[in-house]
A and B are shown apart, each in its own frame.
Chain A
Amino acid sequence: MDELVRLIGSLPMPALLVFAAVLALIFGVRHMGLLQGLRALAPAEGAGEGTGRILGAVIDNKKADELIAAFTKVASELADNTEATKETGNAIRANTAAAISMGGDITDARTDIRELTREIVRSGR
């Protein structure tokens, strides 16, 4: 210990000052880097745990919330439109079935008319 104190005492003062300054600089830069690293990819505020962690990495929190709101609205409208499209499809299918059925009835009626026409011609003779 005495040897160490004597050694430090024998060093020129500027050397000790430079040593202290460099040491302070190293720890300062290290601390700054650590804080920046922690902040760089922090989860987005107001976002769910899962989504926030991903969105926070690429865009800022406010933008992320706006995008999530817009996306939810579009998804909701799309779901409504999908439901309406399904109902329209069902109606078209029902009408098509009715049209096919009516076509059958028309064919039957035409056959009956032909039969009646033949009967009238035969009885006229």
Chain B
Amino acid sequence: MDHQPYTGTGLWVQITHRFGPRMPEWFMAGHTAVFGFVLLIAPELFTQPTWAGFLKLFSWLPPDAVQFYMGVGMLIAGLARVAGLIVNGARKHVTPRIRQVSAGVGCMIWFGITYAFASSDVVSTWLAIYPLFGICELVNIHRAAHDEGETRNGRTG
């Protein structure tokens, strides 16, 4: 069995080939990284009433640090997930474990954000976005676990 990873043009072709079925995962990775980036470039964001729940949730941290740490954490998580997806595309055999873990982390993040927004008692557009992101991550977990099941049966490469 050949375990050599793809390189050069082959790597790009394989990533684009697998991009279709993995599209929600790429987008969720992008959302996570960009969310973290926005938190880092807009330092006064958590002072708004909509974000009050975040400060309440992390009340043991100084208010300024909550936004910074969350921004850094989400940026790293998003970029790490992008790296994981590139590894998934680079290898000849899929890596559903990496995808499951990253989707699980993403699910915790999005439902955590939903909870924090809900704790602020302000109804806004977050209600139409983040709960669905969390559900999307559950679908991603299901797909990756399904792939792992098929791989164990020796059906997919």
Decide: A33 near B60, CB < 8 A? Known: A42-B153, A57-B155. no
Chain A residue with Cβ nearest B115:
A18
Q: Which of A87-117 contact B (CB under 8 A)?
A: none
Residues of B near A26 (CB, < 8 A) are 104, 107-108, 138, 141
Out of B60, B108, B150, which one reaches A37, CB within 8 Å? Answer: B150
Query: How many residue-residue contacts, CB under 8 A, span A and B?
Result: 79
How many angstroms from the CA of A40 to the CA of B152 in the assembled complex? 11
- Quick one: which of A37, A38, A40 has the most chain B CB within 10 A? A37
B99 to chain A, nearest CB (A): 11
User: Is A7 close to B, CB under 8 A?
Assistant: yes
Chain B residue with Cβ nearest A7:
B60
Residues of B near A11 (CB, < 8 A) are 57
A61 to chain B, nearest CB (A): 15
Q: Which of B116-157 contact A (CB under 8 A)?
A: 119, 134, 138, 141-153, 155
Out of B107, B119, B155, which one reaches A41, CB within 8 Å? Answer: B155
Chain A residue with Cβ nearest B137:
A26
B107 to chain A, nearest CB (A): 5
- Quick one: which of A15, A23, A39 has the most chain B CB within 10 A? A15
How many angstroms from the CA of A25 to the CA of B114 in the assembled complex? 15
Contact count band on A: 20 to 34
Q: Which of A30-52 contact B (CB under 8 A)?
A: 30-42
User: Is A29 close to B, CB under 8 A?
Assistant: yes
Give a binary string over B58-69; 1 marks a CB under 8 Å from any A CB, 0 the rest: 011000000000
B111 to chain A, nearest CB (A): 5
User: Are B144 and A38 closer than 8 Å at their CB atoms?
Assistant: no
Out of A33, A42, A57, which one reaches B145, CB within 8 Å? Answer: A33
Chain A residue with Cβ nearest B150:
A37
Residues of A near B152 (CB, < 8 A) are 37-38
How many angstroms from the CA of A41 to the CA of B152 in the assembled complex? 10
Chain B residue with Cβ nearest A27:
B104
Chain B residues close to A by CB (< 8 Å): 56-57, 59-60, 100, 104, 107-108, 111-112, 115, 119, 134, 138, 141-153, 155
Chain A residues close to B by CB (< 8 Å): 7, 10-12, 14-15, 18-19, 22-23, 25-26, 29-42, 57
- A-B complex: 3 closest residue pairs judged by Cβ atoms: A37-B149, A33-B145, A33-B142
Residue pairs across A and B with Cβ atoms less than 8 A apart, 24 shown, are A7-B60, A10-B60, A12-B57, A12-B119, A15-B57, A15-B119, A18-B111, A18-B115, A22-B112, A25-B107, A26-B107, A30-B104, A33-B142, A33-B143, A34-B145, A34-B146, A36-B149, A37-B148, A37-B150, A37-B153, A38-B150, A40-B153, A41-B150, A57-B155
